[in-house]
Every structure is written in structure tokens, then in C-alpha cells.
Amino acid sequence: MPHRATPSTKAAQAAATQADPRWAAVAARSAAADGSFWYSVQTTGVYCRPSCAARAPRPENVRFHESCADAEAAGFRPCQRCKPRQPTALSHHAALVTEACRIIEGAAAGEAPTLDALAAQMGLSPSHLHRIFKQSTGLTPKAYAAAQRAQRLRSALDNAPTASVTDAIYSAGYQSSSRFYEQSAQVLGMTPSRYRAGGAAQDIRFAIGQCSLGAILVAQSDRGICAILLGDDADTLVRDLQDRFAQAHLIGGDTAFEALVAQVVAFVEAPGLGLNLPLDVRGTAFQQRVWQALQAIPAGQTASYAEVAQRIGAPTAVRAVAQACAANALAVAIPCHRVVKSDGALSGYRWGVERKRALLTRETAPEPTQPLAEKAA
């Protein structure tokens, strides 16, 4: 006779299912979770995608699976309602955006296709391509092409030290050096000559404070906040900043700058306050796509590395997404702490998993009813 679960066993299984972050996605019929896992129902013998519109199962009857193959190996058959083996609209859009990115990346310097030409090449309407591209990457096709061009320029300046700056500008695809110099602060964060010199003569102001997560270093260039670093040791944070801006002039902050540090600390302690400060974000085109996707994750919510990869139109680039998160130097402002493993577990935070846990906990906690200064008083 088949084994029959006792009431205590059922209760334990129900509790385990409800404690699993994936259960919330099933209960919400979250389409965003489709493709990251599948679930089966023991009483029906079928497995489904998270967004399945079928009657909600009892938690004690649910099991989770990493793939359709895993579910079928466990003896379950595909649901005829949600058809879990068929591509979802989300995965279809991700594939289209991935193709569009490859076309843009493969275009010769200075010859990035227009939106109309790109859409025609892919058999889509320009408005549809524009919409799904921005939904997935956080950038328009034009902005993505500009980021690729900027990346080619960085590579030319880094890898061809004997070439003139003008040659590097044109080889990267810029049609006019004068037009480029108007945008150089946005593209490189400084002039090309200063970039090639490793940021020499650039002033970076910084100060170190204390917050509930330990030491915090805040640094600012003439464009905005360029580093927010967390750690246990102030000297280690300063060395990290020196390595990051090896040729810059590092200047200790004055009283006015320390007030800015206090604003960042307040944001760390109470994320609901927001951080209305300009950021100087420096990274490759891919890193910037990832970081923009992270900034779109609401406070108190999380996304898996695989989900972020899907959102930027690179569903197979999960490892590269994790590396981009690790390269982030703007803690909290670019919320890489909101990215978790597919099973909801915490991992991979450059400033320590316990800090990641603390940040997520306070983002889901009720906001204080009075200003922090009054509360401290």
C-alpha cells in the first residue's frame, strides 16, 4: 500500500513550502518568475509554471523543480493549461532583445542601425521593438548603441596608448570630435586625455563615517557620488578607493562634505528616505545595463541573477550578471543587495552576506513615524 502522510507530516511540508520564497511567486501567479523554476502538485500529478491560472494548490502538496526535465523525472506530466514546456512571452521577448543587442554590437563603428532599420531587420514594428528593448534592458536601442560606442572608445584609449586621442574617437564611431567633446563628461566622466592618464589631476573628495553596518566611505567627483563602500576597517576602505582612482587627487572632506556623508548614512539606515544625489556611475556597457536593472527593483523586493539576466535581454549571462553586481562600487545606491539566488538564498555580496541580510530586512520593515533626528533624541 502507498504510504499515506500523517497530519503532522502534512503540516511540516506545508510550513516548508510556505517558507520557500518560490511559494509567494506561485501564490501571486507571478509571470516574472516563469522560467526560473516550476512546481508540481502531488494530488494531480502535473507540474506548472509559476503563473499558471489553475486552481491554487494546497502548500503541502507542492514540490519545486529547477527544470521541466527535473519535474518529469520525478514522475509529473506537463499541465495542459499553462503548457510549461512552451516558451513564455517573457522568454520570447528576451530572445528578441538578445538578437537586437547582438546586431548593435556587431555593427561596424559608426554604423549602428537606426530603430527603423533594426526593427525591419528583425521583422518587428519600431514601437514594439523600442518597448520590449527598454523593458528588458532599461535602455533604448539608441542609448544601448551609444553605450557600445563609449565602450569601444575606452578600449581604444586603454589598448592603443600610441594612437592619438582623435584617432581613438573616430575609430570608436564618433563622427565629430567636437560633438564628442561636448559629451565627454557623460561618456568617460572626464576628458579623454585625463582618462588615458588614469584620472590624473582629477579631484575626488571623500570621508569616512559609521553606520549600523560598520564603516562607510563616501567619495564624490565633480559629476557626483562615485563610491559608497562598506566594511569593518576604515583603512581598508581608503586603500580600496586609492586602487580604484589610482591617479586622482584624493581630498579629505570638509564639514560640508561630511553633511553629504550623513545624508548617505541616513539612507542606509532608512531606505524609504530615498537618496536624491547625482551619481557618477562608471562601468562597461554591460555593467551599466545590469546596474540600471538593479535600480528598477523596488525597495523590499528581490530578483534572482537569472531574472536580471532575462530583464537585460541576456538570459544566458547569469554569471556575467553576478560579476557586474560584484563590480558595483555604489553600495545601496545601486542595490545589488536585492539580487538573490534562484531559491531565494542570499549570496555573493562584496560587503558580506550579513550586511545584505540586514539591508533587505530594514527595507521590508515599517518606516519610522518620526524623523531619525527626533527618534535619536
Amino acid identity for residue 243 in this structure: D
Residue 162 CB burial class (10 angstroms; 0-12, 13-18, ≥19) = exposed
Among residues 245, 319, 331, the alpha carbon closest in space to that of 286 is found at 319
How far apart are alpha carbons 37 and 51 in whole angstroms? Answer: 11
How far apart are alpha carbons 226 and 219 in whole angstroms? Answer: 6
DSSP code, position 197: T
Catalytic residue flag (residue 48): yes
Question: Which residues have CB under 8 Å from 315's CB, separation 6+?
Answer: 35, 91, 94, 95, 98, 306, 309
Catalytic residue flag (residue 336): yes
The grid cell for 240 is 580600496
How far apart are alpha carbons 15 and 27 in whole angstroms? Answer: 14
Out of 48, 82, 101, 325, the active site residue is 48
Out of 101, 226, 325, 336, the active site residue is 336
Q: How far is CA 124 from the centre of its chain?
A: 27
Annotated active-site positions, please? 48, 336
